[in-house]
Amino acid sequence: PQKPGLGQTQARRQEIHLGLPCEWQEPNYLIHHPLNLFPKRTKELKSVVPSAPGWKLFGKVPPRENLQKTSKIIQQEYEARTGRTCKPPPPSSRRKNFEFEPLSTTALILEDRPSNLPAKSVEEALRHRQEYDEMVAEAKKRELYEIFLSRAKERWKSFSETSSENDMEGVSIADREASLELIKLDISRTFPSLYIFQKGGPYHDVLHSILGAYTCYRPDVGYVQGMSFIAAVLILNLEEADAFIAFANLLNKPCQLAFFRVDHSMMLKYFATFEVFFEENLSKLFLHFKSYSLTPDIYLIDWIFTLYSKSLPLDLACRVWDVFCRDGEEFLFRTGLGILRLYEDILLQMDFIHIAQFLTKLPEDITSEKLFSCIAAIQMQNSTKKWTQVFTSVMKDIKEGDKNSSPALKS
Protein backbone atom coordinates (compact mmCIF):
# COMPACT_ATOMS: atom_id res chain seq x y z
CA PRO A 1 0.00 0.00 0.00
CA GLN A 2 1.01 3.57 -0.58
CA LYS A 3 2.78 5.22 2.36
CA PRO A 4 0.37 7.71 4.05
CA GLY A 5 1.25 11.28 4.85
CA LEU A 6 1.42 12.84 8.30
CA GLY A 7 -2.05 14.37 7.97
CA GLN A 8 -3.64 11.04 7.15
CA THR A 9 -2.02 9.47 10.17
CA GLN A 10 -3.34 12.11 12.55
CA ALA A 11 -6.81 11.91 11.03
CA ARG A 12 -6.90 8.15 11.49
CA ARG A 13 -5.82 8.47 15.15
CA GLN A 14 -8.76 10.83 15.78
CA GLU A 15 -11.15 8.34 14.12
CA ILE A 16 -9.89 5.54 16.30
CA HIS A 17 -10.17 7.72 19.40
CA LEU A 18 -13.76 8.67 18.53
CA GLY A 19 -14.63 5.11 17.62
CA LEU A 20 -15.43 5.92 14.01
CA PRO A 21 -15.12 3.17 11.36
CA CYS A 22 -12.32 3.46 8.90
CA GLU A 23 -11.51 1.53 5.74
CA TRP A 24 -7.81 2.15 5.61
CA GLN A 25 -5.47 0.39 8.03
CA GLU A 26 -2.03 1.64 8.65
CA PRO A 27 0.73 -0.75 7.74
CA ASN A 28 3.27 -1.70 10.34
CA TYR A 29 6.20 0.64 9.53
CA LEU A 30 8.87 1.15 12.10
CA ILE A 31 9.63 4.82 11.30
CA HIS A 32 6.01 5.91 11.85
CA HIS A 33 5.96 4.51 15.37
CA PRO A 34 8.67 6.23 17.33
CA LEU A 35 7.35 4.77 20.56
CA ASN A 36 7.75 1.20 19.34
CA LEU A 37 11.31 0.20 18.81
CA PHE A 38 10.43 -3.17 17.31
CA PRO A 39 7.80 -4.14 14.71
CA LYS A 40 4.55 -5.77 15.80
CA ARG A 41 5.26 -9.34 14.85
CA THR A 42 4.40 -12.58 16.50
CA LYS A 43 7.28 -14.07 18.32
CA GLU A 44 8.84 -16.95 16.41
CA LEU A 45 9.41 -20.12 18.32
CA LYS A 46 13.04 -20.95 18.22
CA SER A 47 14.01 -24.58 18.27
CA VAL A 48 15.98 -25.20 21.39
CA VAL A 49 18.51 -27.96 21.31
CA PRO A 50 18.68 -29.42 24.79
CA SER A 51 22.20 -30.61 24.36
CA ALA A 52 23.53 -27.28 22.99
CA PRO A 53 26.02 -25.62 25.40
CA GLY A 54 24.98 -22.40 27.13
CA TRP A 55 27.14 -19.53 28.37
CA LYS A 56 28.02 -18.14 31.76
CA LEU A 57 30.34 -15.41 32.86
CA PHE A 58 33.59 -17.32 32.73
CA GLY A 59 32.85 -20.22 30.38
CA LYS A 60 30.33 -22.53 28.82
CA VAL A 61 27.55 -24.30 30.64
CA PRO A 62 27.93 -28.07 30.12
CA PRO A 63 25.21 -29.56 27.88
CA ARG A 64 22.22 -31.24 29.41
CA GLU A 65 22.01 -34.99 29.13
CA ASN A 66 18.84 -35.98 27.30
CA LEU A 67 18.61 -39.58 28.47
CA GLN A 68 15.54 -41.55 27.47
CA LYS A 69 14.21 -43.52 30.37
CA THR A 70 13.71 -47.19 29.77
CA SER A 71 10.86 -49.21 31.21
CA LYS A 72 13.21 -50.68 33.81
CA ILE A 73 14.31 -47.20 35.02
CA ILE A 74 10.70 -46.02 35.18
CA GLN A 75 9.77 -49.08 37.22
CA GLN A 76 12.66 -48.50 39.63
CA GLU A 77 11.71 -44.84 40.13
CA TYR A 78 8.09 -45.84 40.73
CA GLU A 79 9.10 -48.43 43.34
CA ALA A 80 11.37 -45.91 45.11
CA ARG A 81 8.64 -43.27 45.17
CA THR A 82 5.73 -45.49 46.26
CA GLY A 83 7.57 -48.17 48.20
CA ARG A 84 5.81 -50.91 46.25
CA THR A 85 7.50 -53.69 44.38
CA CYS A 86 6.04 -55.02 41.16
CA LYS A 87 5.67 -58.77 40.99
CA PRO A 88 7.56 -60.41 38.15
CA PRO A 89 5.39 -61.94 35.42
CA PRO A 90 4.50 -65.61 35.88
CA PRO A 91 6.84 -68.07 34.18
CA SER A 92 5.92 -68.86 30.59
CA SER A 93 3.96 -72.04 30.03
CA ARG A 94 5.89 -72.74 26.85
CA ARG A 95 5.96 -76.42 26.02
CA LYS A 96 9.37 -77.98 25.97
CA ASN A 97 10.86 -81.11 24.47
CA PHE A 98 9.30 -80.81 21.04
CA GLU A 99 10.02 -83.68 18.70
CA PHE A 100 10.68 -81.17 15.95
CA GLU A 101 11.47 -77.55 16.82
CA PRO A 102 11.50 -75.45 13.64
CA LEU A 103 13.48 -72.21 13.40
CA SER A 104 10.32 -70.16 12.89
CA THR A 105 7.16 -69.18 14.68
CA THR A 106 5.42 -72.42 13.77
CA ALA A 107 5.32 -73.65 17.37
CA LEU A 108 3.57 -70.47 18.57
CA ILE A 109 0.26 -72.07 17.68
CA LEU A 110 0.74 -74.41 20.66
CA GLU A 111 1.24 -71.57 23.14
CA ASP A 112 -1.43 -70.67 25.68
CA ARG A 113 -3.05 -67.28 25.46
CA PRO A 114 -2.07 -64.48 27.90
CA SER A 115 -3.93 -64.37 31.22
CA ASN A 116 -5.99 -61.35 30.16
CA LEU A 117 -7.53 -63.29 27.24
CA PRO A 118 -9.96 -66.24 27.29
CA ALA A 119 -8.21 -69.59 27.51
CA LYS A 120 -8.33 -72.12 24.69
CA SER A 121 -11.03 -74.74 24.71
CA VAL A 122 -10.14 -78.41 24.49
CA GLU A 123 -11.38 -78.61 20.91
CA GLU A 124 -9.36 -75.57 19.87
CA ALA A 125 -6.21 -76.91 21.52
CA LEU A 126 -6.60 -80.24 19.70
CA ARG A 127 -7.18 -78.45 16.41
CA HIS A 128 -4.06 -76.34 16.92
CA ARG A 129 -2.06 -79.46 17.73
CA GLN A 130 -3.26 -81.09 14.52
CA GLU A 131 -2.41 -77.99 12.49
CA TYR A 132 1.04 -77.89 14.09
CA ASP A 133 1.68 -81.55 13.23
CA GLU A 134 0.66 -80.88 9.63
CA MET A 135 3.01 -77.90 9.40
CA VAL A 136 5.87 -79.95 10.82
CA ALA A 137 5.18 -82.77 8.34
CA GLU A 138 5.25 -80.30 5.45
CA ALA A 139 8.53 -78.84 6.71
CA LYS A 140 10.05 -82.33 6.92
CA LYS A 141 8.93 -83.07 3.36
CA ARG A 142 10.60 -79.97 2.02
CA GLU A 143 13.73 -80.69 4.05
CA LEU A 144 13.92 -84.28 2.75
CA TYR A 145 13.52 -83.12 -0.83
CA GLU A 146 16.16 -80.41 -0.45
CA ILE A 147 18.65 -82.92 0.97
CA PHE A 148 18.43 -85.31 -1.98
CA LEU A 149 18.25 -82.47 -4.48
CA SER A 150 21.50 -81.03 -3.15
CA ARG A 151 23.12 -84.45 -3.47
CA ALA A 152 21.90 -84.71 -7.06
CA LYS A 153 23.34 -81.29 -7.90
CA GLU A 154 26.69 -82.34 -6.49
CA ARG A 155 26.64 -85.47 -8.64
CA TRP A 156 25.71 -83.44 -11.72
CA LYS A 157 28.59 -81.09 -11.07
CA SER A 158 31.12 -83.86 -10.58
CA PHE A 159 29.72 -85.81 -13.52
CA SER A 160 30.05 -82.87 -15.91
CA GLU A 161 33.62 -82.23 -14.79
CA THR A 162 34.92 -85.79 -15.04
CA SER A 163 32.96 -87.38 -17.87
CA SER A 164 32.15 -86.74 -21.49
CA GLU A 165 30.05 -88.35 -24.17
CA ASN A 166 32.92 -90.57 -25.24
CA ASP A 167 33.22 -91.95 -21.72
CA MET A 168 29.67 -93.30 -21.90
CA GLU A 169 30.36 -95.66 -24.81
CA GLY A 170 31.86 -98.42 -22.67
CA VAL A 171 29.20 -98.23 -19.94
CA SER A 172 26.52 -100.93 -19.78
CA ILE A 173 22.86 -100.19 -20.38
CA ALA A 174 21.98 -100.73 -16.71
CA ASP A 175 24.63 -98.25 -15.61
CA ARG A 176 23.47 -95.70 -18.18
CA GLU A 177 19.91 -95.94 -16.90
CA ALA A 178 21.10 -95.52 -13.33
CA SER A 179 23.09 -92.43 -14.26
CA LEU A 180 21.80 -88.88 -14.16
CA GLU A 181 22.83 -88.27 -17.74
CA LEU A 182 19.93 -90.34 -19.08
CA ILE A 183 17.47 -88.01 -17.37
CA LYS A 184 18.46 -85.14 -19.66
CA LEU A 185 17.78 -87.29 -22.70
CA ASP A 186 14.36 -88.45 -21.54
CA ILE A 187 13.05 -85.06 -20.43
CA SER A 188 13.07 -83.81 -24.02
CA ARG A 189 10.80 -86.75 -24.97
CA THR A 190 8.28 -86.14 -22.17
CA PHE A 191 4.99 -84.77 -23.49
CA PRO A 192 6.68 -83.02 -26.43
CA SER A 193 3.36 -81.61 -27.67
CA LEU A 194 2.95 -79.53 -24.49
CA TYR A 195 6.32 -77.72 -24.84
CA ILE A 196 6.54 -77.17 -21.07
CA PHE A 197 9.01 -79.87 -20.04
CA GLN A 198 11.53 -79.31 -22.80
CA LYS A 199 14.60 -77.13 -22.31
CA GLY A 200 13.51 -73.54 -21.78
CA GLY A 201 10.01 -74.58 -20.68
CA PRO A 202 8.54 -73.60 -17.30
CA TYR A 203 8.70 -77.13 -15.84
CA HIS A 204 11.96 -78.36 -17.35
CA ASP A 205 14.10 -77.63 -14.28
CA VAL A 206 11.44 -78.91 -11.88
CA LEU A 207 11.17 -82.25 -13.68
CA HIS A 208 14.95 -82.51 -13.89
CA SER A 209 15.28 -81.82 -10.15
CA ILE A 210 12.65 -84.36 -9.06
CA LEU A 211 14.09 -87.17 -11.18
CA GLY A 212 17.62 -86.36 -10.04
CA ALA A 213 16.60 -86.26 -6.39
CA TYR A 214 14.89 -89.64 -6.72
CA THR A 215 18.01 -91.29 -8.12
CA CYS A 216 19.86 -90.16 -5.00
CA TYR A 217 16.95 -91.21 -2.76
CA ARG A 218 16.73 -94.70 -4.31
CA PRO A 219 20.10 -95.54 -5.88
CA ASP A 220 19.07 -99.21 -5.91
CA VAL A 221 16.36 -98.32 -8.45
CA GLY A 222 18.03 -95.44 -10.21
CA TYR A 223 16.38 -93.89 -13.22
CA VAL A 224 14.44 -95.99 -15.73
CA GLN A 225 12.91 -94.78 -18.96
CA GLY A 226 9.26 -93.97 -18.39
CA MET A 227 9.68 -92.37 -14.98
CA SER A 228 9.70 -88.91 -16.52
CA PHE A 229 6.07 -89.29 -17.65
CA ILE A 230 4.92 -90.22 -14.14
CA ALA A 231 6.81 -87.33 -12.56
CA ALA A 232 5.49 -84.92 -15.20
CA VAL A 233 1.86 -85.80 -14.42
CA LEU A 234 2.49 -85.24 -10.71
CA ILE A 235 4.16 -81.88 -11.38
CA LEU A 236 1.06 -80.72 -13.24
CA ASN A 237 -1.06 -81.41 -10.15
CA LEU A 238 1.20 -80.82 -7.12
CA GLU A 239 3.86 -78.53 -5.74
CA GLU A 240 7.48 -79.52 -6.30
CA ALA A 241 8.18 -81.06 -2.86
CA ASP A 242 4.79 -82.79 -2.76
CA ALA A 243 5.32 -84.14 -6.27
CA PHE A 244 8.63 -85.66 -5.18
CA ILE A 245 7.05 -87.36 -2.15
CA ALA A 246 4.15 -88.69 -4.22
CA PHE A 247 6.54 -89.87 -6.93
CA ALA A 248 8.71 -91.76 -4.43
CA ASN A 249 5.70 -93.34 -2.73
CA LEU A 250 4.08 -94.31 -6.03
CA LEU A 251 7.19 -96.08 -7.29
CA ASN A 252 7.49 -97.87 -3.97
CA LYS A 253 4.29 -99.85 -4.61
CA PRO A 254 4.89 -103.58 -5.20
CA CYS A 255 3.86 -103.58 -8.87
CA GLN A 256 5.82 -100.45 -9.84
CA LEU A 257 8.84 -101.52 -7.81
CA ALA A 258 8.90 -104.92 -9.54
CA PHE A 259 8.76 -103.34 -12.99
CA PHE A 260 11.23 -100.52 -12.41
CA ARG A 261 13.73 -102.82 -10.74
CA VAL A 262 13.22 -105.24 -13.65
CA ASP A 263 12.44 -108.13 -11.32
CA HIS A 264 11.83 -110.80 -13.96
CA SER A 265 10.25 -113.36 -11.65
CA MET A 266 7.72 -110.87 -10.26
CA MET A 267 6.99 -109.44 -13.69
CA LEU A 268 6.24 -112.93 -15.04
CA LYS A 269 3.76 -113.47 -12.20
CA TYR A 270 1.95 -110.27 -13.09
CA PHE A 271 1.87 -111.27 -16.77
CA ALA A 272 0.57 -114.75 -15.92
CA THR A 273 -2.20 -113.27 -13.76
CA PHE A 274 -3.09 -110.85 -16.55
CA GLU A 275 -3.39 -113.70 -19.06
CA VAL A 276 -5.82 -115.53 -16.75
CA PHE A 277 -8.29 -112.65 -16.95
CA PHE A 278 -7.42 -112.03 -20.62
CA GLU A 279 -8.58 -115.54 -21.51
CA GLU A 280 -11.63 -115.21 -19.25
CA ASN A 281 -12.90 -111.98 -20.85
CA LEU A 282 -11.54 -112.00 -24.44
CA SER A 283 -11.03 -115.65 -25.33
CA LYS A 284 -11.11 -115.13 -29.10
CA LEU A 285 -8.50 -112.37 -29.06
CA PHE A 286 -6.47 -114.34 -26.54
CA LEU A 287 -6.18 -117.29 -28.95
CA HIS A 288 -5.31 -114.90 -31.77
CA PHE A 289 -2.42 -113.50 -29.74
CA LYS A 290 -1.31 -117.01 -28.82
CA SER A 291 -1.17 -118.02 -32.48
CA TYR A 292 1.41 -115.27 -33.07
CA SER A 293 3.22 -115.92 -29.76
CA LEU A 294 2.45 -112.34 -28.77
CA THR A 295 3.07 -112.21 -25.02
CA PRO A 296 1.75 -109.47 -22.65
CA ASP A 297 5.19 -108.01 -21.95
CA ILE A 298 5.37 -106.61 -25.49
CA TYR A 299 2.65 -104.05 -24.80
CA LEU A 300 2.12 -104.12 -21.03
CA ILE A 301 5.60 -102.98 -20.01
CA ASP A 302 5.22 -99.58 -21.65
CA TRP A 303 1.72 -99.17 -20.23
CA ILE A 304 2.78 -100.01 -16.68
CA PHE A 305 6.04 -98.02 -16.79
CA THR A 306 4.25 -94.80 -17.74
CA LEU A 307 0.88 -95.60 -16.12
CA TYR A 308 -0.73 -95.03 -19.55
CA SER A 309 0.34 -91.39 -19.58
CA LYS A 310 2.37 -91.96 -22.76
CA SER A 311 -0.06 -94.23 -24.63
CA LEU A 312 -3.33 -92.43 -23.85
CA PRO A 313 -4.27 -88.74 -24.18
CA LEU A 314 -3.26 -86.83 -21.07
CA ASP A 315 -6.78 -86.03 -19.87
CA LEU A 316 -7.83 -89.66 -20.29
CA ALA A 317 -4.67 -90.91 -18.58
CA CYS A 318 -5.45 -88.67 -15.60
CA ARG A 319 -8.85 -90.33 -15.27
CA VAL A 320 -7.15 -93.71 -15.25
CA TRP A 321 -4.84 -92.40 -12.52
CA ASP A 322 -7.83 -91.36 -10.41
CA VAL A 323 -9.30 -94.86 -10.35
CA PHE A 324 -5.86 -96.43 -9.97
CA CYS A 325 -5.23 -94.40 -6.81
CA ARG A 326 -8.54 -95.67 -5.47
CA ASP A 327 -8.53 -99.34 -6.60
CA GLY A 328 -4.82 -100.10 -6.75
CA GLU A 329 -2.72 -102.09 -9.22
CA GLU A 330 -5.65 -104.25 -10.30
CA PHE A 331 -7.13 -101.35 -12.24
CA LEU A 332 -3.95 -100.94 -14.31
CA PHE A 333 -4.38 -104.43 -15.76
CA ARG A 334 -8.14 -103.98 -16.04
CA THR A 335 -7.50 -100.85 -18.11
CA GLY A 336 -5.22 -102.90 -20.39
CA LEU A 337 -8.00 -105.43 -20.93
CA GLY A 338 -10.44 -102.58 -21.60
CA ILE A 339 -8.14 -101.24 -24.36
CA LEU A 340 -7.93 -104.70 -25.93
CA ARG A 341 -11.72 -105.03 -25.78
CA LEU A 342 -12.19 -101.59 -27.37
CA TYR A 343 -10.04 -102.50 -30.38
CA GLU A 344 -10.76 -106.23 -30.47
CA ASP A 345 -12.25 -106.24 -33.98
CA ILE A 346 -9.27 -104.34 -35.41
CA LEU A 347 -6.66 -106.46 -33.63
CA LEU A 348 -8.20 -109.70 -34.90
CA GLN A 349 -7.36 -108.64 -38.45
CA MET A 350 -3.69 -107.79 -37.75
CA ASP A 351 -0.52 -109.84 -37.62
CA PHE A 352 2.24 -109.77 -34.99
CA ILE A 353 4.11 -106.67 -36.19
CA HIS A 354 1.01 -104.54 -36.76
CA ILE A 355 -0.49 -105.54 -33.40
CA ALA A 356 2.72 -104.56 -31.59
CA GLN A 357 2.90 -101.22 -33.42
CA PHE A 358 -0.79 -100.49 -32.85
CA LEU A 359 -0.68 -101.16 -29.10
CA THR A 360 2.51 -99.16 -28.66
CA LYS A 361 0.90 -96.05 -30.14
CA LEU A 362 -2.85 -96.04 -29.60
CA PRO A 363 -5.17 -93.88 -31.75
CA GLU A 364 -5.45 -90.30 -30.52
CA ASP A 365 -9.21 -90.14 -31.12
CA ILE A 366 -9.94 -92.54 -28.27
CA THR A 367 -12.70 -91.18 -26.03
CA SER A 368 -13.14 -91.65 -22.31
CA GLU A 369 -16.76 -92.77 -22.65
CA LYS A 370 -15.90 -95.66 -24.96
CA LEU A 371 -12.83 -96.71 -23.01
CA PHE A 372 -14.45 -96.68 -19.59
CA SER A 373 -17.50 -98.51 -20.87
CA CYS A 374 -15.17 -101.26 -22.10
CA ILE A 375 -13.30 -101.23 -18.79
CA ALA A 376 -16.59 -101.59 -16.91
CA ALA A 377 -17.46 -104.64 -19.06
CA ILE A 378 -14.30 -106.45 -17.91
CA GLN A 379 -14.94 -108.96 -15.14
CA MET A 380 -12.00 -109.21 -12.78
CA GLN A 381 -13.11 -112.53 -11.37
CA ASN A 382 -12.07 -116.01 -12.39
CA SER A 383 -14.14 -118.86 -10.99
CA THR A 384 -15.01 -116.90 -7.84
CA LYS A 385 -11.39 -115.76 -7.48
CA LYS A 386 -10.50 -112.10 -7.60
CA TRP A 387 -7.26 -110.47 -8.76
CA THR A 388 -5.37 -110.78 -5.47
CA GLN A 389 -6.39 -114.41 -5.01
CA VAL A 390 -5.39 -115.35 -8.55
CA PHE A 391 -2.09 -113.51 -8.17
CA THR A 392 -1.36 -115.35 -4.92
CA SER A 393 -2.09 -118.74 -6.49
CA VAL A 394 0.09 -117.90 -9.49
CA MET A 395 2.98 -117.01 -7.18
CA LYS A 396 2.69 -120.43 -5.57
CA ASP A 397 2.54 -122.27 -8.90
CA ILE A 398 5.42 -120.49 -10.64
CA LYS A 399 8.80 -121.52 -9.37
CA GLU A 400 11.92 -119.48 -9.75
CA GLY A 401 13.36 -121.96 -12.28
CA ASP A 402 10.33 -121.67 -14.58
CA LYS A 403 10.72 -119.03 -17.26
CA ASN A 404 8.15 -117.94 -19.76
CA SER A 405 9.13 -117.82 -23.43
CA SER A 406 8.93 -114.03 -23.46
CA PRO A 407 11.22 -112.54 -26.10
CA ALA A 408 11.31 -109.14 -24.44
CA LEU A 409 12.36 -110.48 -21.05
CA LYS A 410 14.99 -112.79 -22.51
CA SER A 411 16.56 -109.88 -24.36
pLDDT for 317 equals: 95
Contact residues for 305 (Cβ-Cβ < 8 A; gap 6+): 224, 225, 226, 227, 259, 260
Name the residue ranges covered by the structural domains of the chain.
137-252, 262-400
Please determine, for residue 45, whether its predicted confidence score (pLDDT) is greater than 50. no
Least confident range from 15-29, 261-275, 364-378, 391-405: namely 15-29
Confidence of residue 208 (pLDDT cuts 50, 70, 90): very high
| Across 119-134, average pLDDT | 81
More confident: 349 or 112: 349
d(Cα 317, Cα 309) in Å, to the nearest integer? 5
Confidence of residue 5 (pLDDT cuts 50, 70, 90): low
Determine the CATH number of domain 262-400.
1.10.472.80
pTM greater than 0.85: no
Distances (CA, A) of 15 to 1, 4, 10: 20, 15, 9
| Predicted confidence (pLDDT) per residue in 13-28, tens digit | 555 555 555 555 545 5
pLDDT for 169 equals: 45
d(Cα 124, Cα 127) in Å, to the nearest integer? 5
Confidence of residue 43 (pLDDT cuts 50, 70, 90): very low
Please determine, for residue 219, whether its predicted confidence score (pLDDT) is greater than 80. yes
| CATH architecture for the domain at 137-252 | Orthogonal Bundle (1.10)
- State the burial class of residue 287 (Cβ atoms within 10 Å of its Cβ: 0-12, 13-18, 19+): exposed
pLDDT for 206 equals: 94
pLDDT for 203 equals: 94
- State the burial class of residue 366 (Cβ atoms within 10 Å of its Cβ: 0-12, 13-18, 19+): middle
Confidence of residue 93 (pLDDT cuts 50, 70, 90): very low
d(Cα 128, Cα 211) in Å, to the nearest integer? 35
